[in-house]
Amino acid sequence: MKFKTPQTLQQIAKLISAPFIGDANFEISGINEIHVVEKGDIVFVDHPKYYEKALKSSATTILINKEVPCPEGKSLLISEDPFRDFNKISNFFNPFVASKEAISSSAIIGKGTVVQPNVFIGNNVVIGENCYLHPNVTIYDATVIGDNVTIHANTVLGADAFYYKKRSDGFDKLLSVGRVVLQDNVDLGASCTIDRGVTGDTTIGAGTKIDNQVHVGHDTVIGKKCLIASQTGIAGCVVIEDEVVIWGQVGTTSGITIGKGAVILGQTGVTKSVPGGKSYFGTPISESREKLKEMAEIKRFLKGRKIT
């Protein structure tokens, strides 16, 4: 998430009541998670295991829970609770604004787009031309939809990320201030749920077609001309490259990549990144031919055993 106007290190430190290391006028342009940070961004880290990754990332301000040597050209914000203060910054620059109308007056809707009854369109949504939004579709704030997009009934775009930190008294949620972006010629089936990015975008590439009852987690990027069948669950921060086919009831772990042109057969658990151009099956995932051979060998072995 980029700020509307750049801030200084001192301004952000004052906002969260945190000491800092670096030039008070050090410029900060946004706040982002580690996988989407750019120069000028704040990133947070609250576990020693990830200190080095955060300090060496593209982020130039690190919100951290321990004073450490500051890398050259960067700055530090020292916080007792970086998770809490990351939320505080996100909420200050992008607060939730309740809608007072079914279709926000701030929404931009292109020529030829059809909006069926009971559709909700939130603040600052942009919808392109010649789209079809069927009954009971819900589009949260700041969603961007291209041209020639069809969204079937009861689909929800822009719900919060499933991202929590365990506390002694329960769970704290990391606020979601990112967006959902659908490119041109995307079709979404009925009752799909596409979560917004925490600070970045959850993106569905041009020409991709998604069946009914598919879930896409926060900050996931799906490429162009993909096919995803019903009851698939895609976790957060997944990259699905162009022309991937995913059949029904597939589930993925977070943070993995599925290569261009891969085919994932039904009921597969995608437990790791896989190269493109191949067919995969099973849990744990492996190439479909190898998995089927394994299953045949197990069947022969069991058939040949003497049961006593």
Q: Where are the beta strands (DSSP E) in 215-254?
A: 215-216, 221-222, 227-228, 233-234, 239-240, 245-246, 251-252
**Sheet of 193-195, strand order:** 120-121, 138-139, 156-159, 193-195, 215-216, 233-234, 251-252, 269-270
**Distance (Å, whole) CA 27 – CA 96:** 25
* Residues recognised as catalytic: 218
Q: What angle do CA 131, 133, 134 make, to 5 degrees?
A: 140
Residue partners of 32: CB distance under 8 A and separation at least 6: 1, 38, 41, 42, 43, 59, 199, 200
Strand pairing category for 2-8 and 27-31: antiparallel
Query: What is the chain's percent helix, strand, coil content, to nearest 5?
Result: 15, 30, 55
